[in-house]
Amino acid sequence: MLLRFLKLWMMLCFACVSSAARLDPFALRLSCGARQNVHSKPTNTLWREDFGYTGGIAANATLPSLITPPLNTLRYFPWSEGPQNCYNINKVPKGHYSIRIFFGLVGQSKDISEPLFDISIEGTQLYSLKPGWNYQIDQVFAEALVFLTNDSVSICFHSTGHGDPAILSIEIQQIDDKAYYFDPQWSQGIILRTVKRLSCGFGQSKFDVDYGGDSRGGDRFWQHIKSFGEEYESDQPRSVETRIKHASHPPNFYPETLYQSALVSTDSQPDLTYTLEVDPNRNYSIWLHFAEIDNSVTAAGQRVFNIIINDDLVFKDVDIVELSGDIYNALVLNTTVTVNGRILTIILKPKEGNLAIINAIEIFEVIMAESKTISEEVSALQTLKKALGLPPRFGWNGDPCVPQQHPWIGVDCQLNKSSGSWVIDGLGLHNQGLKGFLPDDISRLLNLQILNLSRNNIHGAIPSSLGTITSLQVLDLSYNLFSGSIPESLGQLTSLQRLNLNSNLLSGRVPATVGGRLLYRASFNFTDNAGLCGIPGLPTCGPHLSGGGKVGIGLGASFTFLLLITCSFCWWKRRQNILRAQQIAARAAPYAKARTHFSRDIQMTRHHNNYGKTSTAAENGPILLS
Ligand SMILES: *[C@@H]1O[C@H](CO)[C@@H](O)[C@H](O)[C@H]1NC(C)=O
Ligand SMILES: *[C@@H]1O[C@H](CO)[C@@H](O)[C@H](O)[C@H]1NC(C)=O
Ligand SMILES: *[C@@H]1O[C@H](CO)[C@@H](O)[C@H](O)[C@H]1NC(C)=O
Ligand SMILES: *[C@@H]1O[C@H](CO)[C@@H](O)[C@H](O)[C@H]1NC(C)=O
Ligand SMILES: *[C@@H]1O[C@H](CO)[C@@H](O)[C@H](O)[C@H]1NC(C)=O
Ligand SMILES: *[C@@H]1O[C@H](CO)[C@@H](O)[C@H](O)[C@H]1NC(C)=O
Ligand SMILES: *[C@@H]1O[C@H](CO)[C@@H](O)[C@H](O)[C@H]1NC(C)=O
């Protein structure tokens, strides 16, 4: 009996442990520039050191605002490290995430330099910092809801020439897969960037964690707003302690406290109007939160209002009590609007004799996630970066083609609409002081049309793999230190229109496949090399042989000599064989029967040998044992 009870108890326990493990959302918080893990007050939140995710320089931080996490260090990215720098964070399980990045100010520079830069996540441009960000409580961070599908995340900072990007912290927190879903545009291919999150009425600006919210909702920052009016108090704050039902529900898990305070309009100004300046020509997802907490309303029908967003009637006859089922029940309405101008206006317009109420507002920018560059070409460029010895100022971090506003220096891209990914179609690294060599991996850039490496100090051979980039139209390797001969394979480049190999150390015959075709199809320049020959305009390949040519002829002669010797030997051997065969044939016939007997004898001998072997093994047995 007791045993059975124990067993049941253990099973229950196991079930609850495993379900807890399943529900536990992934969370990673980085304190940028920190050399050890940090715990922040008052919630004892763990912030990890950021070793090994990126380059940049660690420094002491000045916190730009009261709401930033109390961290002492930051990481900044000077221009010399290239225009884009990324945190590449692995082991982030597939899922839906809230990602938040707090910015910082280096050292004591609060009033001196406020860097302005762009932020991208997984190649999608998210946000451009606006001047004055360090004075505004909700502008000191960027936040977005993102689907991660590849067990990793890349967060990049792009310099725009206004100071060095400086990052205080990065938070990656898993949220419900369906969090903030809306119809019909919503999909894994969209990113929601938080534009504004307001908690209306009495109180203070707070994070979910301060509200005691469920961690599955993320750790949202709710900026407190006491009134929508600027010049006069057009509305009044209300708050209650009464419990609110249906607040902390999936998928969004809003903190209950959010619904315990609200703004209510006044008789003199019955409309509630909220106005926000936004970036034009974008789509915005708007989430409005209500709970009937004003004791002047006790039943359905007593407070009815319309919701008008930028002149469009979006929700008609909203009755909170009716829609949510009761007073002190949470109600969330969401809609998506396209804003063409710079102003987003939300008006709550009550029916005659009523007043309007609102508890909270969330506004997100709806961003389509960017396509990426095919990984084969990304890794080819990374190999090239090393082989050519690209200076650090190039950066070449993150994705080469996206965000489209910030492609890698010298890289031209094209979107393949049918595969939905970017490919590299041009590489222009002319005049960059490159001192390395051109690796075979260049041929993995299968879509390359233009390759211009002119005026560098690139040495070594021209890789013959270049001949497999059939889309190549322009190949300019002029004014370098390329040596050896021109690979035959370049003749396969049927689209080639321009070939500049002048001013290098090339030698040997210009392959007929290259020279012949180029004569009438394309423009070319082979002059000023160490000894190219064989096409009009260059010396003939006869008397003045280059090193390569001499070796070629030497090899040819040796080969002919060897061939002669081999042939004579073969002839002699064959002759010998014929003679011997004639002798044997003369003697063979009388012995035919005897040969049959002989072969049976061999078989018997084999049999005996097998038996002998077995017995030997048996004899060996005891010896092994003793
Ligand atoms: C950062 O501040 C600490 C003391 O808080 C100091 O010891 C350290 O030298 C500072 N580092 C830099 C780079 O200024
Ligand atoms: C947002 O609104 C749409 C339609 O208006 C609704 O289907 C959806 O359930 C809402 N999303 C959430 C998370 O409540
Ligand atoms: C906004 O949404 C509309 C309709 O869903 C879409 O056609 C348009 O491309 C979107 N605009 C932007 C800037 O994403
Ligand atoms: C996913 O990550 C792996 C390794 O980090 C990489 O090889 C692959 O190309 C990535 N896939 C995509 C679609 O980004
Ligand atoms: C685009 O991608 C498709 C599918 O991967 C491929 O078949 C096609 O050749 C590509 N087109 C170009 C122009 O590269
Ligand atoms: C390659 O770049 C150089 C600049 O260094 C330019 O003069 C040249 O015209 C380019 N080559 C081609 C084929 O466009
Ligand atoms: C070919 O290259 C040489 C030197 O490398 C240069 O002087 C000449 O102008 C070039 N010819 C053409 C037609 O570009």
Domains of the chain (ranges, CATH numbers): 23-175 (2.60.120.430), 177-369 (2.60.120), 375-533 (3.80.10.10)
In this structure, which residue's CA is closest to atom 14 in ligand 5? 416
236: Cβ below 6 Å to ligand 3?
Answer: no
> Looking up tokens 């898993």, which residue turns up?
174
Residue 117: half-sphere exposure toward Cβ, Cα within 13 Å: 30
E strand or H helix at 426:
strand 421-428
525: Cβ below 6 Å to ligand 7?
Answer: yes
pLDDT at 450: 98
How far apart are the CA of 155 and the centre of ligand 4, in A? Answer: 15
Strand 235-239 relative to strand 73-76, pairing: unpaired
Of 207, 468, 224, 180, the closest CA to residue 334 belongs to: 180
How far apart are the CA of 281 and the centre of ligand 2, in A? Answer: 23
Q: Mention every residue, 6+ apart, whose C-beta is less than 8 A from residue 463.
A: 438, 439, 440, 442, 443, 487
E strand or H helix at 146:
strand 141-148
Ligand 3 atom closest to residue 283's alpha carbon, by position in its atom list: 1
Mutate to test the pocket of ligand 5, among 371, 414, 416 (most ligand atoms within 8 A of CB): 416
DSSP string, 242-279: S--BT-S-TTT---GGGGGEEEEEBTTB--EEEEEE--
Which residues line the pocket of ligand 4, CB cutoff 6 A? 150, 152, 372, 375
How far apart are the CA of 390 and the centre of ligand 5, in A? Answer: 29
Q: Over 346-360, what HEC string results?
A: EEEEECCCCCCEECE
pLDDT at 66: 82
416: Cβ below 6 Å to ligand 5?
Answer: yes
Of 169, 163, 65, the closest CA to residue 115 belongs to: 163
Mutate to test the pocket of ligand 1, among 60, 62, 72, 106 (most ligand atoms within 8 A of CB): 60
60: Cβ below 6 Å to ligand 1?
Answer: yes
The ligand that comes nearest to the alpha carbon of residue 420 is 5
E strand or H helix at 88:
strand 84-90
| Distance from C-alpha of 471 to C-alpha of 66, rounded to nearest angstrom | 56
| Distance from C-alpha of 574 to C-alpha of 108, rounded to nearest angstrom | 95
The ligand that comes nearest to the alpha carbon of residue 61 is 1
Name the phi and psi angles at 393, rounded to 5.
-60, -15
How far apart are the CA of 497 and the centre of ligand 6, in A? Answer: 14
pLDDT at 478: 98
Ligand 5 atom closest to residue 417's alpha carbon, by position in its atom list: 1
DSSP character at residue 497: -
497: Cβ below 6 Å to ligand 6?
Answer: no
The ligand that comes nearest to the alpha carbon of residue 340 is 3
| Distance from C-alpha of 32 to C-alpha of 517, rounded to nearest angstrom | 58
How far apart are the CA of 527 and the centre of ligand 7, in A? Answer: 7
Q: Which two tokens stand for residue 148?
A: 């991660």
| Distance from C-alpha of 335 to C-alpha of 182, rounded to nearest angstrom | 8
DSSP character at residue 510: P
| Distance from C-alpha of 321 to C-alpha of 245, rounded to nearest angstrom | 12
pLDDT at 111: 55
In this structure, which residue's CA is closest to atom 5 in ligand 5? 419
Q: Which two tokens stand for residue 539?
A: 């010396």
35: Cβ below 6 Å to ligand 1?
Answer: no
Mutate to test the pocket of ligand 4, among 121, 153, 375, 399 (most ligand atoms within 8 A of CB): 375
Please count the helices (runs of H) and the strands (runs of E) in the chain. Answer: 7, 36
418: Cβ below 6 Å to ligand 5?
Answer: yes
How far apart are the CA of 272 and the centre of ligand 6, in A? Answer: 62
Helix (H, G, I), strand (E, B) or coil at 547: helix
pLDDT at 577: 64
How far apart are the CA of 180 and the centre of ligand 2, in A? Answer: 8
pLDDT at 203: 87
Q: How far is CA 243 from the centre of its chain?
A: 44
Are the beta carbons of 437 and 387 closer than 8 angstroms?
Answer: yes
98: Cβ below 6 Å to ligand 7?
Answer: no
pTM of the model: 0.82
The angle formed by the CA atoms of residues 402, 405 and 411, to the nearest 5 degrees, is 60
Mutate to test the pocket of ligand 6, among 412, 429, 430, 496 (most ligand atoms within 8 A of CB): 430
Q: How far is CA 454 from the centre of its chain?
A: 31
The ligand that comes nearest to the alpha carbon of residue 92 is 4
| C-beta contacts of 415-418 below 8 A and 24+ residues apart | 415/371, 416/447
Are the beta carbons of 342 and 97 closer than 8 angstroms?
Answer: no
Of 378, 388, 481, 482, the closest CA to residue 439 belongs to: 388
Mutate to test the pocket of ligand 3, among 281, 338, 404 (most ligand atoms within 8 A of CB): 338
Flag residues of the chain having pLDDT under 70. 1-23, 108-112, 230-233, 517-521, 542-626
Per-residue pLDDT reduced to its tens digit, 249-267? 999 999 999 999 999 999 8
